[in-house]
Structure formats: structure tokens, C-alpha cells
Structure 1
Amino acid sequence: MSIFKLDINHWLDMDKWYLRYMEDKANVLSKYGREYCDWIPGESDDACQELLDMVVDHLTKRYPSLFRRTAIGVDNLVTGESMDLRTPLAEHPLHLLARLAKEDFYIVKQRADGQHYLVAACVPGPGGFFGVREKMGKPLDAIHTEVPYYFEKLKVSMERWFARMKPNDPVERASWFICWDHELLCNGIYALGPGERVPADTSYLKYNVRVCRQTLRRLPQSQAIIFSNHPIFYSIEEMKDEPFVPSMLKKVVLEGPEKILKYKGFEKFDDHLIPYLDRLIQRQIDMGIIKADDPLKTRPAYPFADWYDPAEKHTGRGYTNPIFLREGATAPQP
């Protein structure tokens, strides 16, 4: 599953887009309610409460200037909201979580039959077609029905890996696709109908790589597994000087496995995007960033080759998004 050990300091991230995420999540939940935030009463209660406690503990310790514990709960100093966390809670824990963390959360529990089932989820920003209500109470097989190659390659190993997962072994991974907007609920690529393609006049400057940063960890008390998802948008234009990034995007869009290409909707924009990527590739060759005969491979530094300093990996500075650090750089506008 291409997973990495999670540095727990970076379980829940904060960045300049925090308020935008909070506003979008509130709008989705207000409009759609339990379609994107649902739970199974009784079976999920302990896990939802434990997750809320863990998130509050993490945020107040990791970001003490942004979140502060009070005698009755927690203050969100970014939004100005004070939360009363005394039990019984006035609201469901998932609703409170949605106003604290940018991440979407899925809660999975193992039942007597050995399979893992979705018992609660708050997912205001899936980016595509994931509806919580239709997946609630379903096993992993049903949740991953649309995922390419799940049954052929992932099904058995995923169930076994979930069963063995320990609370002190959190991991992270990333999934990505290409879009031309910053919509959290449903990006434009998934709004296109069968046979539709991205409009020919779409500006290349709008194209983004939407990276869904995902983490998995087991709660120590309820033993539920928590899957979190946090979308991050990287403008392709802003990444044009990252060695091999345009080349790797082109290779994946044109040569990826057929089912993956269809699942990610690459067929809806490939003929429009490839000429742009070709120009960026030639630009890197002309500037000496890469050579035309260089073997195409991922750079050894993670995730960007020209900014990550291993000496900084324990300070937090090495993880700052370079797009917003470079002199004169402009953040992509939503």
C-alpha cells in the first residue's frame, strides 16, 4: 500500500488554508448532514469519544498558540470558538471534530466475523464520489468496491494488516489525482459526466495535483482504527522547477494501469494537459534542471528534492511547503 511510518508530530497539520477548510466543512455538513457525517449508535460511541479526546490532546500540545484547554473544554483561537466538552456532550463528537481539525475521519472496527466495518465517519471533503451513508456499516470489501485492483491485490493483505496493527504503529500514505479547481467536496473532474472532457479553454495555470495525505492509527482503548484524510493542492505551475515532476506526471497520465487511469479520470483531460507538460519538460532541459537522457525516477528526498534538508527533519522546518517559501512565490488561489 506504499505506506510510511508516521511521525506523530505531523498527524494533524495546520497551514494557511485552515479557515477555508473549516468554512467549507461547515457548509457541507449544514447542507448535506448525515450524508457526509454519520455513525452507528452504540457500536461507535466509545471510538468517537476517544478520537475527540485524542484530537484535542494533540492539537493543544502540538499547537498551543492555536488551541488552548479550558476548565470546561477547549478554545479554538483561530476561529474564536469555545467548546464545552463536558459529558454528556451537547453535540456528537464528530461534529466537534469537524470544527477542530482539517482532516476527514473514518472509524473502522473489527466485528466477530473477523472483518473490519465502517462504524462512523465525518467526510465533508472527499473530493469525489464517496458518500458516507451508503458505506456506513459496510465491510472493507464494500467500501473499496470502486478501487481498482482491490480484490485482485489488496483485499487479503489489507484485512490481515488491519488485524495486526498496533496503537504505537501509526502510518501514512498519499493518494493523488489531477484537477483544475480547489473544491473539497467534489472536484470538477468528478463532476464531469460520461464522455465529457475538460473545457478546451481551461487555463493550464488552474491545474493542480490534489494530494490526499492519509494516516492510519489504532486507538488504544476502543481498538478502533482511525483513517484520516487531508487534501493538499499543489499547482503544477508552481512545481515546474521540481526535477522530473512534469516528466513523472506525463508518464503516469499516459502509461498508468488502465483501471487506475479511468478511476482517476485522466482520460477527461489527457490530450489537453500533455502539451503543457511537454513544454515544462523542455523548459527543465533548457534550464539544465534535467537532461533529456536522464533516467526517470523519483528523487531520493521526500517529497521535494530541492528543499528538504535531512538535518532539519526533527525541527519541523524541513516539512514546510516550499511553494510558499520561495521568494516571490504566489500561493494558488481557491
Structure 2
Amino acid sequence: MLEYTSIYVLSASFLVGLPFAVLLYAYINSRRSPKPNRDGTLRILKEKSPNLPPAYPLKAYTLAQITSIGPFPCYATLTGVPLPEPYHAFDIKTAKPRPYRPFRWAYHQTMSLTRLEPNWWLELEDTYSTRLLQRSQILQKYKTKIIDRHLNISNPWRVEVACQELMEMVIQFLCSRYPQYFHFDTSKFVFLNRILGREFEVYKMDPLDFVFQNVPEDFAIVMPDDGRGGKYVFVAGMICSSVGWDLGEKIGKALGEIHGVVPEYKEKMERSMDRYFSKLTTDKPIQRGSWDIVVGEPLFVCGGEKFNKRRSGQDHNIKEEDLTLRVDWQTLRRLPLSGGIVFNYKALFTPVKEFEDEPGVPALVEKVLREGNKKILEYKGTWHVEHVVLPMLERMKRRQVEMGVWEEGKEVRTLEESPFYRGWEEKWRNQQEF
């Protein structure tokens, strides 16, 4: 009797799941084998169909609706975020990242969000090729600690849709922003990367692997899971720039579990962040930055215990020229079809000595390190370099007073140009020779 019951249950399960399987197959097949128009151009969704729901999360797209849209839709139309303007003056050989200085005073734990600038979602620099090679070597060593998916959620098909969306959005951005370096062949569906001298048949690749091979940034996709009360869960991504932890530790966890070690997160941020995520619409992507003062340029450090032990003491062999500002410049945006949210960040390194001609920066950083929230500073581990960086900042501040770019006794607060500083653009352009 038990054997027959199992057969009936299995048959019933198959019949219930068959429509879903057919739709998922149709979706994947449509994305990997898109059909061009008669003139050879790729089908692009020009206008929102009146039959489609408004931007998520007001109402989610179904798999059937997503399949009906077809391959490679226009994400500017779907999201309400315009494609970036072409950056014709950009030269990959001399390009420098914008000099982000995301320092704040008063210094306490907040999300510190601002509206994303569409032109700067992905930002390339002269380290592009060497950083991609470095990340590839890290991937070979750590594998699923770097790239992975978590499909154990209420709607696992949305994870695959989200990965595909991310790849297509990256392609559209790169080709629009840097047309001198990237091209997408709409008849063969081949992405040409002129910097690397490589072609990619995008619909024959894992979308996460494609992004990893072409963009030296980290991406994490989070998605609400009905099975966990609608909490946002880390379901897919590639993390190659983390220090003290790895993707393998975080994949499959909810936001609160991931940020549990962050000081004051649960008390001050957990509820507001979950609420913010649930209301984030596709047309309102945001950006923020986090920072640290480090020795050298540590890109990926696996193993928090070993890393924390290294920061528990003060090495008196450290020199001023060894100190680097590490900024993780982050963006957050809703994916229009899957309803997931993609978080990405780029690790940027700048010698601390660069602060010397940046008005107000030395005074602000010194103030934060001396008087900032002790719990946050302890979490960052700044103490292990303070014996070198604080005298350095004090000297820079006095020098700026002498030069007339900073006033003695002036109230220290977040710079008006935040996340930059006064006169940043002229210096930045001169460094790039254009």
C-alpha cells in the first residue's frame, strides 16, 4: 500500500510542477537563444506593455510574463533608470577612479544612502586587466567561497532570472558607457571586450561567470523568501574583495544574520533596512561608501580569526607610505523582472599621503579616529595603524592651515562636497591627463 501511495504522490507532484517546468524551460531557452529582428538588430522592449504589472515590488512579474517579454529587453525602459552617457574621453590606460572620501561627522552607524548617478553604476580604471587577473587567481584557489548560488527558497526560479538580468544589464551599461571598448553583436549575440581582446558568447555562459570575467567588482543578489517571512536572503553572487569573511559563510543567510557582527546593526539598522528593501523600486537605485585605513592593498583575506589577530597589535615597522585608504564604493538597485536586489561594490585603494592636498580631509579623518564611535572603530580595527596615521594626519592638517586651505579651530563636520572634497575634479582630471 505504501509503495502505491508513493507512486500517486509522485505522479501528482509531477503534474503540478509540469507547467512551471515548461515555463522555466521556455524562459531559459528564450534567453539563451534570442531571435533577432529582420534587420539583424536585437529585440529590445521599447515600451512597457500595458499587460505587464508596474515596477516591482508593487506587483511581481510571473514567469509567464517574463517569458513573454523575450530576450535582452531594454532595462532603461523596465527600470526607469536611463542608460549612461557615452564616455568618449575615457582612456583605460590612464583612468583613475573618482576620489571617494565617504567620511562623516558626527560618526555613528547609519546606512548613509544617496541617489545613484546612472553614469557611474560600474566604474573602470587603469587597474582593470590586472585586477581581473588577480580575481581569477583567487577564484581558482577558493572556488565556491567566491561564486555560488542558493536555490533553497520559496521561488528558486527567480534566482536564475536575477542572474540573467544582471548579465544583460551589465552588457547594456558597458556598451553604452564605454562604446570604444565594448560591443555587443546583435546577430551572433557575442560580446566583444576590446580591452581583453576577447569575445564571449553570452547565452552559452553562466551569467555570473560572464560578469566575473568582465567586471572587477563584487555582486550580491538578495531576494525576499516567503518561507522565511519575507526576509531578504543572499541567494547568488560573486565576492572577491572581502576581508575577513567569504561568500561561503554568508550565502543562504538573511540580512540580519549576515550583518549580525556589525556594531549596533540589530538595534539601529536591522528593522529600517528590511523596511527599506521591501519598498525599494527599480527607479530609485542608491549608493553609499564604507572605508578603512589598511596596510598595503589587501583585496581578499579569507578567515576572520587570522585577520583579526593580525590587527590586534601595532607593528612599529609600518611606515607612512605603507598606509592606504580602502573605500568600498557600493550601489544597490532593484532588478525589474525577478524582484531581487543587486548589491555591488568596488574596492578602491588610495595612498593616505594623497590627503595632503585635499582640503579638510586630514582634519575630518583625524577627528573620526580620535573621537568617533569606539564600537565601530574597534570593528574596523583602526587601532593597529593609529600610531602611524594620527601623527601623519596632524602634520597634514597643520600644513593645510599654513597654506590657507584650512582654518585653525574650524568646526569639523562632513564635507559639503561629500563623498568628495573641494577641488577634487581638477586634481582627478589632471591625474588622468585629460
Give secondary structure in 1 for the equivalent of 2:191: strand
The match for 1:278 is 394
Deviations 1:203-232 (A, max 9, x none): 202211111100000000001100001111
Q: Does 1:301 align with 2:417?
A: yes
Larger relative contact order, structure 1 or 2 (CA cutoff 8 Å, min sep 6): 2
Q: Does 1:178 align with 2:178?
A: no
The match for 2:252 is 137
Q: Does 1:291 align with 2:407?
A: yes
Aligned-partner Cα distance in 1 for 2:415–2:377: 23
The match for 2:129 is 19
Matches within 5 A, 1:241-280: 241-280=357-396
Asked whether the 8 Å contact 1:239–1:245 carries over to 2, the reply is: yes
2:225 to 103, 106, 111: 111
Kindly state the Cα deviation for residue 298 of structure 1 after the two structures are TM-superposed.
Answer: 2.8
Kindly state the Cα deviation for residue 326 of structure 1 after the two structures are TM-superposed.
Answer: 8.1
Aligned-partner Cα distance in 2 for 1:58–1:6: 14
Deviations 1:277-310 (A, max 9, x none): 11111111222221212111233224333325xx
Kindly state the Cα deviation for residue 241 of structure 1 after the two structures are TM-superposed.
Answer: 1.3
Q: Does 1:157 align with 2:264?
A: no
Q: Which moved more, 1:193-202 or 1:105-114?
A: 193-202
Identity %: 31
The match for 2:202 is 85
The match for 2:341 is 225
Give secondary structure in 1 for the equivalent of 2:164: helix
Q: Which structure has the greater CA radius of gyration?
A: 2
Structure 1 residues 81 and 163: CA distance shift in structure 2, 3 A: same
Q: Give aligned pairs, total.
A: 313
1:33 to 143, 146, 163: 143
Q: Which moved more, 1:278-287 or 1:211-220?
A: 278-287
Give secondary structure in 2 for the equivalent of 1:321: helix
Structure 2: stretches of 5+ with no match in the other structure: 1-110
Q: Does 1:75 align with 2:198?
A: no
Give secondary structure in 1 for the equivalent of 2:357: coil
Deviations 1:124-147 (A, max 9, x none): 112x12311121111111110111
Give secondary structure in 2 for the equivalent of 1:290: coil
Kindly state the Cα deviation for residue 186 of structure 1 after the two structures are TM-superposed.
Answer: 2.9
Report the TM-score, using the length of structure 2 for normalisation.
Answer: 0.68
Structure 1: stretches of 5+ with no match in the other structure: 309-317, 328-334
Give secondary structure in 2 for the equivalent of 1:177: strand
Kindly state the Cα deviation for residue 319 of structure 1 after the two structures are TM-superposed.
Answer: 9.4
Deviations 1:253-282 (A, max 9, x none): 121212111111012121232111111111
Give secondary structure in 1 for the equivalent of 2:377: helix
Kindly state the Cα deviation for residue 23 of structure 1 after the two structures are TM-superposed.
Answer: 1.1
Kindly state the Cα deviation for residue 322 of structure 1 after the two structures are TM-superposed.
Answer: 5.3
Asked whether the 8 Å contact 1:239–1:323 carries over to 2, the reply is: no
Give secondary structure in 1 for the equivalent of 2:414: coil
* Bigger helix fraction: 2
Aligned-partner Cα distance in 2 for 1:301–1:193: 36
Asked whether the 8 Å contact 2:362–2:393 carries over to 1, the reply is: yes
Asked whether the 8 Å contact 2:319–2:388 carries over to 1, the reply is: no
Aligned-partner Cα distance in 2 for 1:13–1:76: 15
The match for 2:283 is 168
The match for 1:315 is none
Kindly state the Cα deviation for residue 72 of structure 1 after the two structures are TM-superposed.
Answer: 2.7
Asked whether the 8 Å contact 1:109–1:224 carries over to 2, the reply is: yes
Matched to 1:149, the amino acid is E
Give secondary structure in 1 for the equivalent of 2:328: strand
Q: Which moved more, 1:13-22 or 1:35-44?
A: 35-44
Structure 1 residues 237 and 25: CA distance shift in structure 2, 3 A: same
Aligned-partner Cα distance in 2 for 1:263–1:322: 35
The match for 2:323 is 207
Give the aligned CA root-mean-square deviation in angstroms: 2.2
Asked whether the 8 Å contact 1:176–1:212 carries over to 2, the reply is: yes
Deviations 1:164-198 (A, max 9, x none): 000111000000011121121139x9835167434
Matched to 2:189, the amino acid is I
Give secondary structure in 1 for the equivalent of 2:365: helix
